């Protein structure tokens, strides 16, 4: 079952790889106003969440997604929980990359457990591979579109996929090619009973970010998939037989990679044009992003969402909010807030109180978020 992906570079694929590299070079060095940079990160995350879940039938709009992401202590519908989970999964990926987490089956199983909609009882910390047959059925016709491998073959197939992901063979490929192959092979194995599509797209994101193609956190491919879903599905299928063992076990990936790279080139070029439009050649009072941990940057995004949905007064937060937003324990939330207070990142709203119940950003970071909020409000008015 050794996985050695087959494909042939076309002239179009080479051209698209060149366009991606060109856009990455521009976006990585172009000076941007700090508040605009924060806003670009937040909207890219919002679009990725909205469109990846939309592919699976989620109908929430951008505003409803914002409300679901910042909701605390409220009953969530399945669709709300779905987008909240995907947002959190993207944050988790950032945190694992910051910790230099290497590819593994454990990584994939943990990622899936975050993405899958929460059922009754406590959420597990990792998902188990499926034990049953799991055909992909067209909801309109009832026809089987794809018959994945037998459950007994899933563990060795996943072991082999991760072996390839970590191999020198994979490392020699351009990052976008590696990401496209990883996503397609994963979704072909279909290792879980549900959530395989979202996990495949999140794995592609993992590899793009891991390979240096995060483009400052601005890149979102998913909206380009939903612009023509039939093309997305057709290129995933590649006109292969329905059964995994009849050709999908060792396909020529050229068609899928051609589509994946063309989509990424389109997204990268669109992002490059946005960055050029916001280009600020004068010296910028850029905040020291490098000094912030990933989870601190994620908090800025969350609070920007709060301001967009409920106004500036909503940008205060409690340790309980941290527990819900980041899936951590109350003790961990208090530890983080204590460290951040010492680092002059957050401050208590009532420092004289014996027990701090609410926090706000310190002035430097609050000004940045409010500038991004004001710019976003002007652009939508």
Asked whether residue 54 is domain-assigned, the answer is yes
Among 252, 278, 304, give the residue marking a domain's end.
Answer: 278
Q: Specify whether 45 is located in the same domain as 141.
A: yes
Q: Specify whether 165 is located in the same domain as 33.
A: yes
Are 227 and 262 within 8 A, CB to CB? no
pLDDT tens digits, 162-189? 999 999 999 999 999 999 999 999 999 9
What pLDDT is recorded for position 30?
A: 74
Environment class of 289 (CB within 10 Å of its CB; exposed 0-12, middle 13-18, buried 19+): middle
What pLDDT is recorded for position 286?
A: 55
What pLDDT is recorded for position 287?
A: 52
What pLDDT is recorded for position 354?
A: 73
What pLDDT is recorded for position 32?
A: 74
Q: How far apart are CA 160 and CA 248, in angstroms?
A: 15
Q: Specify whether 123 is located in the same domain as 272.
A: yes
Give me the CATH number covering residue 249: 1.10.3290.10
| pLDDT-flagged residues of the chain (< 70) | 1, 73-75, 118-124, 279-290, 376-381
What pLDDT is recorded for position 120?
A: 47
The whole-model pTM stands at: 0.86
Asked whether residue 112 is domain-assigned, the answer is yes
What pLDDT is recorded for position 180?
A: 97
Any bridge partners for residue 147, and if so which?
Answer: 243
User: What's phi and psi for 145, nearest 5 deg?
Assistant: -90, -30
Number of structural domains the chain divides into: 2
Asked whether residue 332 is domain-assigned, the answer is yes
Are 198 and 33 within 8 A, CB to CB? no
What pLDDT is recorded for position 263?
A: 95
């Amino acid at each position: 079952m050794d996985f050695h992906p087959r494909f042939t570079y076309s002239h179009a694929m080479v051209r698209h790889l060149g366009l991606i590299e060109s856009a990455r070079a521009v976006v990585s060095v172009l000076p941007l106003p700090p508040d605009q940079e924060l806003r670009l990160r937040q909207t890219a995350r919002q679009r990725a969440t909205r469109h990846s879940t939309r592919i699976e039938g989620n109908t929430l709009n951008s505003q409803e997604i914002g409300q679901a992401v910042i909701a605390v202590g409220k009953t969530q519908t399945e669709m709300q929980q779905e987008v909240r989970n995907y947002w959190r999964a993207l944050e988790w990926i950032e945190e694992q990359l910051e910790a230099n987490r290497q590819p593994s089956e454990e990584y994939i199983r943990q990622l899936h457990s975050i993405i899958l909609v929460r059922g009754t009882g406590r959420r597990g910390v990792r998902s188990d591979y499926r034990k049953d047959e799991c055909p992909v059925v067209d909801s309109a016709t009832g026809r089987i579109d794809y018959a994945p491998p037998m459950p007994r073959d899933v563990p060795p197939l996943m072991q082999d996929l991760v072996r390839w992901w970590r191999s020198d063979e994979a490392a020699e490929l351009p990052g976008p090619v590696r990401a496209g192959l990883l996503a397609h092979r994963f979704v072909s194995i279909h290792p879980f009973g549900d959530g395989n599509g979202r996990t495949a797209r999140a794995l592609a994101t993992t590899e793009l970010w891991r390979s240096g193609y995060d483009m400052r956190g601005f890149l979102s491919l998913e909206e380009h998939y939903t612009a023509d879903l039939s093309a997305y599905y057709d290129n995933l299928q590649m006109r292969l037989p329905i059964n995994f063992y009849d050709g999908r076990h060792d396909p020529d990936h050229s068609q899928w990679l051609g589509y994946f790279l063309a989509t990424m080139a389109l997204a990268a070029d669109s992002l490059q044009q946005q960055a050029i439009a916001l280009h600020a050649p004068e010296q910028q009072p850029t905040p020291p992003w490098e000094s912030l941990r990933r989870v601190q940057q994620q908090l800025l995004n969350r609070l920007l969402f709060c301001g967009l949905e409920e106004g500036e007064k909503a940008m205060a937060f409690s340790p309980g909010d941290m527990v819900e937003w980041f899936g951590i324990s109350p003790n961990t939330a208090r530890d983080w807030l204590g460290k951040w207070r010492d680092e002059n990142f957050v401050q208590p709203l009532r420092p004289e109180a014996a027990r701090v119940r609410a926090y706000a950003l310190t002035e430097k970071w609050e000004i940045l978020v409010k500038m991004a909020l004001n710019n976003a409000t002007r652009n939508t008015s």
